[in-house]
Structure 1
Amino acid sequence: MIHRFVSRFIIIGMMWLGFSLLKWGGERNQLLWQTIMFTAIVLLGSLLEEVLNYQGDPYVLPVVQAIMALGLVFLVRISPESALRQFWWANIGHLIFYSVLWIMRDYRQLGRFRYLWGLLAVALLLVTLIFGFAAGGATSWLRIAGIGVEPEEFVKLALLLFMATYLEQNEELLRVGTVQWGKFSLPDWRTLGPFLVMAGFSLGLLGAQKSLGTALVFYALFVFMIYVVTERALYLGISAPIFLLVGGAGYMLFRHVRVRVLVWLNPWQDPTGMGYQIAQSLFAISGGKILGTGLGNGIGAATVPAASTDFIFSVIAEELGFAGAMAVLVLFLIVVMRAFSISLRAKDRFGQILAAGIGILLGTETLIILAGVTKLLPLTGIPLPWVSYGGSSLLVHFILLGVLLNISNATAVGSQRSKVRGREYAT
């Protein structure tokens, strides 16, 4: 119990220290109350873990809360108005997380709705395509009761659950194969059909919405989950030419994709026009050097477009320097590695696949967005989990976190019960 409270007090203390160094703007009083509420939820949550005897992974939640506290500090730095809304979502997200962790008695029940998850994913994408509105070149937003919602974030959750149930039921056939194609053995249509149909529909709808960044995340999720479960490099080999073919088609069909690729190849050709965003991002990152300019002293918060969403990492790297940027990467790496650790420890195959899928999803999202803002890949426009401004992303990632730690807690409780039964049997 002491360790839990100490870790949370350190995280909260660092957050308050960061706020004390910033100008809160005209929303000072509202932000102050939201910060107090966030602090109370974090501390009461740690107490709830002790009361309800949480036995799962002790590191994932504090690390995620550290990531979120850092994101909230920088959102206050960049845009106090956005930070105020983000606090609401962060507080609601914590409540949803604890609901998933404690109310969901058996996560294995999620595996009973394989085709329902798939249909839900397709339905959300269809509704978005028909009734959604465009932002950043992609039709990926819906307006519900005056609030902008990004259904793609919820599609990630639905597709992840579909993939976990599908791979659990078809693992052996996917691993061994039933149809011989030369030297290779592949699954038959009955086995591979549902996956191909779901992948085709999802990626096709995302292509129609021009949301190619999310399509890249989904494609990586499909490919890596199949590879992790089957351990067959054949699937990686098949996916590479498909990726190049589809990527080439997207380049030919969509102008904004061609613009992003050209800007990625040479942003200095038009640094005040099309290349302005990535050029300012690189200026901000390079200006941070080793230790940064200091919190609140950088210029990237004012000069980098979309600094509170896509490019928040650039502002962090400028004001905290290379050391701070690497610290953020290490925090994300800890979360991903702990997700894989939870996967390895899970007692049932569905839990193993689902936990691994959550780790793959988080790692893929983080890698793609950070590679985009540092010019390693073309820009994709996806949020950095728990850091970038966005309520839909925040809520979905809290749900994923709740599922992950529910698996971890169930594994620990099951192991403890097995040990008790073993002792009783021995005596």
Structure 2
Amino acid sequence: MNQRFVLRLIILGMMWIGLCLLKLDADMDRLLWQAFIFSGIVLLGSLMEHIFHYQGDPYILPVVQAIMALGLVFVVRINPDVALHQFWWANIGMLLFYVVLWSIRDYRYFGRFRYIWGLLAVGLLLITLLFGSEEGGATSSFKVLGFGLQPEEFVKLALLLFMATYLEENEELLRVGTVQWGRISLPDWRTLRPFMIMVAFVLGILAAQKSLGTALVFYMLFVLMLYVVTERALYLGISLPIFLLTGTAGYMLFHHVRVRVAVWLNPWQDPTGMGYQIAQSLFAIGGGKILGTGLGNGIGASTVPVAISDFIFSVIAEELGFAGAMAVLVLFLIVVMRAFAISLRANDRFGQILAAGIGILLGTETLIILAGVTKLLPLTGIPLPWVSYGGSSLIVHFILLGVLLNISNATAVSSLSTKNRGREYAT
């Protein structure tokens, strides 16, 4: 209990030091009150973990809270006016996390609704396509009661649950195959049909929305979860030409995709026009050097377009330097690796697949967005989990975290009960 509480105090202390260094104006009292509420939720949550005897992974939540605290500081640094909303969403997200963690009695219950999760994912995407508004070349959001929502974020949760239930039910058929093509055995059409229909609908609707960054995330999620469960490299081999074919089709069909690829290949052809965003991002990252310019002293916060969401990592790399950027990467790596560790320890196959899927999703999102801002991949426009500005992303990732730690806690409690029964039997 003491170690857990002290660790949270250290994390919150870092956040408050960052906020104090930013020298906020006197009219930012509401923001500071939200920061106090966030601190209270973190400390109260630590106490509740002790009261309810939380036995799950002890590292993931503090690491995520450290990432969240860093993100909040930099959102305040970039735009204090909208940072108030980020604190609101962070507080709501933390509360939802604890609700999910403690209210789910048996996560395996979600495995009964495979087709409902699939229909929910497709329905959310269709609603966005029909009623959404275009932003950044893609139709990915719409307004509800004055709040902007991105249903694509909630589709991640529905797809993870669909994939976990589908793969659990059809694992052996997908692993071994029932149809022989020369030396290669493949599953029959009846087994593949739900998966292929879901892939076609989801990726097709995302293509119609021109939301190709999210489509890339979902495609990698489909392929990697299939590979992790079946351990067949054949699926990776089949996915590569499909990816190249669909990528080429997207390049030919959509003008903004061609622009992004051209900017990715050579942003210096038009550094004040189309290449301005990535050029300023590279300038900011390079200007940070090893130890950075110091919090609040960089110029990337004002020169990099969309710095508060898509390019927030560029501002972090400039003001905290290479050391700070690597620290952020290590924090995300810890979360992903611990998610896989939870997957390996889970008592049932559904929990193993679901935990692995959450780890794959978090790792894929982080890799794609960081590769985009550093020019390793074309820009995708997806948010960095728990760091970038955006309420929908925060809410969904906290729900995913709650599901993940619910699996971890259930596994630990089950293992402890088994050990206790063994001791009673031995005596």
One fold, TM greater than 0.5? yes
TM-score, normalised by the number of residues in structure 1: 0.99
8 Å contact 1:23–1:77 — kept in the other structure? no
Instruction: State the TM-score, normalizing by the size of structure 2.
Output: 0.99
CA distance in 1, matches of 2:62, 2:414: 23
Is 1:309 equivalent to 2:313 in the alignment? Answer: no
- Structure 1 residues 397 and 419, CA, compared in 2 at 3 Å: closer, same or farther? same
> Is the 1:70–1:387 contact (alpha carbons within 8 Å) kept by the matching residues of 2?
yes
**Aligned equivalents of 2:3, 2:283: Cα separation in 1:** 40
Corresponding position: 1:221 with 2:221:
yes
- Does the 8 Å CA contact 1:15/1:70 hold for their aligned counterparts? yes
- Corresponding residue of 1:115: 115
What are the equivalent positions in structure 2 for 1:206-355 lying under 5 Å apart?
206-355=206-355
How far, CA to CA, are the matches of 1:139 and 1:125 in structure 2? 10
1:103 CA drift (Å)? 0.5
1:164 is displaced (CA, Å) by 0.3
Question: Could you tell me the percent identity over the aligned residues?
Answer: 80
Counterpart of 1:408 in structure 2 is: 408
TM-superposed CA distance for 1:24, in Å, is 2.1
Render the CA deviation track for 1:27-66: whole Å, top value 9, x for unaligned: 5101110010000000000000000000000000000000
> Structure 1 residues 224, 397: closer, same or farther in 2, change over 3 A?
same
Residue 357 of structure 2 corresponds to: 357
Counterparts of 1:94-105 in structure 2, within 5 Å, are 94-105=94-105
Corresponding residue of 2:188: 188
For the pair 1:397 / 2:397, whether they are aligned, the reply is: yes
Q: How far apart, CA to CA, are the structure 2 residues paired with 1:311 and 1:264?
A: 15
* Alignment-mate amino acid for residue 159 of structure 1: L
Instruction: Output the CA distance in 1 between the equivalents of 2:25 and 2:125.
Output: 38
Per-residue deviation, 1:386: 0.0
1:46-57 correspondence runs (5 A): 46-57=46-57
- Structure 1 residue 113, shift from structure 2 partner: 0.4
Q: Which moved more, 1:92-101 or 1:24-33?
A: 24-33
Question: CA offsets, 1:334-385, max 9 Å, x none?
Answer: 0000000000000000000000000000000000000000000000000000
Pairing of 1:145-160 with structure 2 (within 5 A): 145-160=145-160
Query: What is the rounded CA distance, in whole Å, between the counterparts of 1:140 and 1:14 in structure 2?
Result: 34
Asked if the contact 1:78–1:308 (Cα under 8 Å) also holds between the matched residues in 2, the reply is yes
* Deviation at residue 305 of structure 1 after TM alignment: 0.2
The 1-side partners of 2:213 and 2:264 are apart by: 14
Query: Residue 148 of structure 1 aligns to a residue in which SS?
Result: strand
Query: For 1:420 and 1:41, how far apart are their aligned partners in 2?
Result: 33
Give the C-alpha shift of residue 23 in structure 1: 2.9
Amino acid aligned to 1:212 = L
1:167 touches 1:226 (CA, 8 Å); kept in 2? Answer: yes
- Any idea what SS the aligned residue of 2:180 has? strand
Greater mean deviation of Cα atoms: 82-91 or 17-26:
17-26
- Contact 1:27/1:81 (8 A) holds in 2: no
Structure 2 CA distance for aligned equivalents of residues 190 and 294 of structure 1: 58
Root mean square deviation, CA, Å? 0.6
Secondary structure in 1 matching 2:28: helix
Once the two structures are superposed, residues 7-32 of structure 1 have per-residue CA deviations (whole angstroms, 9 ceiling, x without a partner) of 10000000000011003246510111
Q: 1:176 aligns to what?
A: 176
Deviates more, 1:17-26 or 1:54-63: 17-26
Q: Number of residues paired by the alignment?
A: 427
CA 319–341 in structure 1, closer or farther in 2 if over 3 Å, else same: same
1:31 and 2:31 correspond: yes
Alpha-carbon distance in structure 2 between the residues aligned to 1:65 and 1:79: 21
Unmatched segments (≥5 aa) in structure 1: none
Summarize deviations over 1:107-135 as a string: whole Å, max 9, x none: 00011100000000000000100000000
- Where does residue 202 of structure 1 map in the other structure? 202
Deviations 1:198-256 (A, max 9, x none): 01000000000000000000000000000000000000000000000000000000000
Query: What secondary structure does 1:273 align onto?
Result: coil
Q: How do 1:130-149 and structure 2 match up within 5 A?
A: 130-149=130-149
Give yes or no for contact 1:25–1:80 (8 Å, CA) kept in 2: no
